[in-house]
Amino acid sequence: MPIEWNKQDRIFHLYNRGISYVIQIVHGKYPAHLYWGSRVQTLQPASILTCKSRAFSPTNEPKDTQFSLDTLPQEYPAFGNGDFRSPAYQLRTRDGSTITEFVYDSHEIFQGKPRLDGLPSAYVEDEDEADTLVITMVDYQLGVGLNLFYTIYRDLDVITRSASFEHRGSHQVKIHKCMSMSVDFHHTNWDLLHLHGTWARERHIERQPLIRGTQLISSARGASSHQHNPFLALLSKNASEEYGDVYGVSLVYSGNFQAAIEVDPYETTRLAIGINPFDFIWILKPGETFQAPEALMVFSKEGLGGMSRTFHRLLRTRLCRGKYRDKVRPVLFNNWEATRFNFTEEKLKHLADTAANLGIELFVLDDGWFGHRSNAKSSLGDWMVNRKKLPHGLKGLAEYVQAKGMQFGLWVEPEMVSPDSNLYRSHPDWCLHVPGRNRTLSRHQLVLDLSREDVCDWLIETLTTLFRSAPITYVKWDMNRNMTEVGSAALPPERQKETAHRYMLGLYRILEILTDRFPEILFESCSGGGGRFDPGMLYYMPQTWTSDDTDAVERLKIQYGTSLVYPAITMGAHVSDVPNQQVGRITPLQMRLAVAMAANLGFEMKVDKLGEKERKEIRRGIQYYHQIQKLVCFGDLFRLISPFEGMDTAWMYVAPTQNLAVVFYYKVLSTPNPRLFRLKLSGLHPLVKYRINNGDQAYFGDELMKVGITMPLIKKDFFSEVFLVKAVDEA
């Protein structure tokens, strides 16, 4: 049983082969954080819990003058009765106060992992894959319970955490803050790493030393956002790709979030992640429960690479669901960059003919097929095919595509409404808005109010009819603006601050029902590219359109940064035309292919305008991709050279059996008179012999990893090479 309860010292020890997480109930009341990191046998509480009385730190237990909540490393701290640091939660009671006294009441340990009500979460397939501890704290005066959930996986160095408030008292309380996890480290010798960006420049990496005070990574946009990803990591100073301690936390949530780090004067570091408390208030009535989203916590002593591989395994096998979870994805063609809104049935058929001829397996019809939409200004909400553009309807086109041997996929943007739409004209109060205030447009559209049950029900039925109207096996679910005037016509004034979170609950309900009703459909989420690339969306839709930026050079950074948390099988990556539509850059087809092949390969270009040479290259590229696709999708990722550090980038995927690997190397600009350069591989078996691209020479894995491969001296910009590394006894 990997959760032990030492009754005498009141210590919980959660462990597996790799990690330990230790909690102590101090003074029978307070859950203190003792340790999280590499596996230890046992912990002697006296040696680790150094709580000291400090000037101006209050004395919570008069008989223990050394004890203060202000200096105690805690599991789920409050504010207002001793600890002056940032709290994990805050409730406002009937008397207007935010003082609460939650103390340990009981606990439960059991096999397996419960699902969270109405929220996405990691799961187990067998009860013995994980064990769960629930610590229940109670504020006896309020009659409110606080459950702290901890699950440890048996074979993954992962702890998941969440919290819920359960009201068993008699007067409503207001929840102002409810983080999913909080943890106090006993030193500050860390670097903070997070993923930041904007549209077309998502998930760039930033690493900087911690500073005293509070550092926040957050979104208040109503989506996890292009700007910050709901993830951060603390790295020991010496941590690199392969070595050093790394603690990564990620939130399974797609809305407003906050990840906070606080460094106090006694050199402790508090790390917390959860729903953004800014602009959030939730009323909890007697008999109700509020459930916070789940936080995924990964510890790696093998640097960032180890952290990523654990996240990848967790997300790929125990967060993503459905038929496509363990399947390689069809190579797709998407007409967006080829036609934008400007297409006819004939044009699409022509593109489909060419796509089929290239070996493409799925034809995706993007924006502009419905209502009277010929630009971004109208028709969102009117999910009826535009017969002027498609006289034979979606069915006619889909059948044509099928006859060409491809599957058919469709773009939708269901969460939005255009003011110029029949939907808006009949239901002007169905969008997020505040009565009497301006309804701010973004991309000419408003956001449907998914906090309303009736709107969600309408959407579920409308999309059900749509998805049944043609043989659709893929859906791209887009979302192209962030929220403003966040208010709901269906909620009373005192509940308006619940709207943004209720929206997420509504969206998750819709997705749960639709993915259940349409198990054959592969859903890909999108928000102007990667504006909502988060584990919450991946729970329902196992892949995400990584970025609207399809330039091969920009993609190196975007895909590299994304790979810190998300596995290749969750990333859509397309080859597009040159000059690139986002940056105007001209890169060779070979490099565009080599970059897109490192994830789910697709094409988004005027395929009908390609010359025979390029067509041949694409055909060959797709054939090659099929050879390496399983490795890319299910192999372990080893990042070799970062695009953030120079002109070279390299990464590789290694089969779990270590008998096969595929290496991707890219050089953006060539250097005059360059150094001799050896690329050191990683993740191979040191004592197994390998051949490169079936060459004559065989090398031990340790040579390839320690000495490396001498790379050619290249006098060419935008160079790329993909090569296979195969164990000698593999045919």
420-439 mask for ligand DGJ (x: CB under 6 A)?
--------------------
Beta carbon of residue 333, minimum distance to ligand DGJ (angstroms, whole number): 13
Q: Which stretch binds ligand DGJ (CB under 6 A): 397-405, 526-534, 563-571, 590-598?
A: 526-534
406 touching ligand DGJ, by CB under 6 A: no
Q: Residues near 155 by Cβ (< 8 Å), separated by ≥ 6?
A: 16, 129
Q: Which residues pair with 26 in a beta bridge?
A: 30
Beta carbon of residue 413, minimum distance to ligand DGJ (angstroms, whole number): 7
3-state secondary structure of 487: coil
Q: Which stretch binds ligand DGJ (CB under 6 A): 97-105, 248-256, 308-316, 525-533?
A: 525-533
Beta carbon of residue 336, minimum distance to ligand DGJ (angstroms, whole number): 5
The residue number with the shortest CB distance to ligand DGJ is 367
Beta carbon of residue 252, minimum distance to ligand DGJ (angstroms, whole number): 23
Restricted to residues 536-555, the positions that interact with ligand DGJ (CB under 6 A) are 545, 548
Considering only residues 246, 460, 526, 641, which one is a binding residue for ligand DGJ as defined by CB under 6 A?
526
Query: Count of CB atoms within 10 A of residue 696's CB?
Result: 6
What is the SS3 string spanning 634-685? HCEEEEEECCCCCCEEEEEEECCCCCEEEEEEEECCCCCCCCCCEECCCCCC
Q: Which residues pair with 249 in a beta bridge?
A: 232, 297
Q: What angle do CA 13, 19, 24 make, to 5 degrees?
A: 25
529 touching ligand DGJ, by CB under 6 A: yes
Q: Residue 534 catalytic? A: no
366 touching ligand DGJ, by CB under 6 A: yes
8 Å CB contact between 295 and 161: yes
543-545 vs 522-525, strand pairing mode: parallel
Q: Which stretch binds ligand DGJ (CB under 6 A): 96-104, 353-361, 521-529, 672-680?
A: 521-529
User: Residue 277: is the preceding peptide bond cis (ω within 30°)?
Assistant: no
Task: Given the residues 367, 478, 551, 636, select the one marked as catalytic.
Answer: 478
CA atoms of 415 and 430, how far apart (whole Å)? 11
Of 414 and 528, the one with the shorter C-beta distance to ligand DGJ is 528
Beta carbon of residue 526, minimum distance to ligand DGJ (angstroms, whole number): 5
336 touching ligand DGJ, by CB under 6 A: yes
Beta carbon of residue 170, minimum distance to ligand DGJ (angstroms, whole number): 49
Beta carbon of residue 244, minimum distance to ligand DGJ (angstroms, whole number): 36
CA atoms of 505 and 536, how far apart (whole Å)? 11
367 touching ligand DGJ, by CB under 6 A: yes
Task: Report DSSP state, residue 74.
Answer: B
Beta carbon of residue 476, minimum distance to ligand DGJ (angstroms, whole number): 6
Beta carbon of residue 410, minimum distance to ligand DGJ (angstroms, whole number): 11
202 touching ligand DGJ, by CB under 6 A: no
Task: Report DSSP state, residue 368.
Answer: -
Q: Which stretch binds ligand DGJ (CB under 6 A): 14-22, 86-94, 524-532, 696-704?
A: 524-532
Query: Count of CB atoms within 10 A of residue 437's CB?
Result: 10
Of 149 and 336, the one with the shorter C-beta distance to ligand DGJ is 336
Of 158 and 571, the one with the shorter C-beta distance to ligand DGJ is 571
Restricted to residues 686-725, the positions that interact with ligand DGJ (CB under 6 A) are none
528 touching ligand DGJ, by CB under 6 A: yes
In angstroms and rounded to an integer, the radius of gyration of the C-alpha atoms of the chain is: 27
Of 529 and 535, the one with the shorter C-beta distance to ligand DGJ is 529
518 touching ligand DGJ, by CB under 6 A: no
Torsion of Cα atoms, 724 then 726 then 730 then 731, to 10°? 30
Residue 379, Ramachandran bin (φ over 0: left; ψ between -120 and 50: alpha; else beta): left
Restricted to residues 384-403, the positions that interact with ligand DGJ (CB under 6 A) are none
Beta carbon of residue 457, minimum distance to ligand DGJ (angstroms, whole number): 26
Residue of 105, 132, 104 whose CA lies nearest to 32: 104
Q: Which stretch binds ligand DGJ (CB under 6 A): 30-38, 160-168, 342-350, 523-531?
A: 523-531
List the structure tokens of 536. 């919450």
Of 449 and 478, the one with the shorter C-beta distance to ligand DGJ is 478
474 touching ligand DGJ, by CB under 6 A: no
411 touching ligand DGJ, by CB under 6 A: yes
CA atoms of 465 and 384, how far apart (whole Å)? 10
Task: Given the residues 131, 191, 382, 548, select the one marked as catalytic.
Answer: 548
Q: Residue 478 catalytic? A: yes
89-92 vs 173-185, strand pairing mode: antiparallel
Tell me the DSSP string of 167-226. Answer: E-SSS-EEEEEEEEEEEEES---EEEEEEE--TTS--EEEEEE--SEEEEEEE-SSSS-S
Of 269 and 339, the one with the shorter C-beta distance to ligand DGJ is 339
Question: In Å, how far are 250, 591, 649, 676, 710 from 714, measured between CA atoms?
Answer: 40, 14, 14, 10, 12
Of 294 and 367, the one with the shorter C-beta distance to ligand DGJ is 367
8 Å CB contact between 418 and 492: no
478 touching ligand DGJ, by CB under 6 A: yes
8 Å CB contact between 545 and 530: yes
Contacts with ligand DGJ by CB under 6 A lie at 336, 366-367, 411, 478, 480, 526, 528-529, 545, 548
Catalytic positions are 478, 548
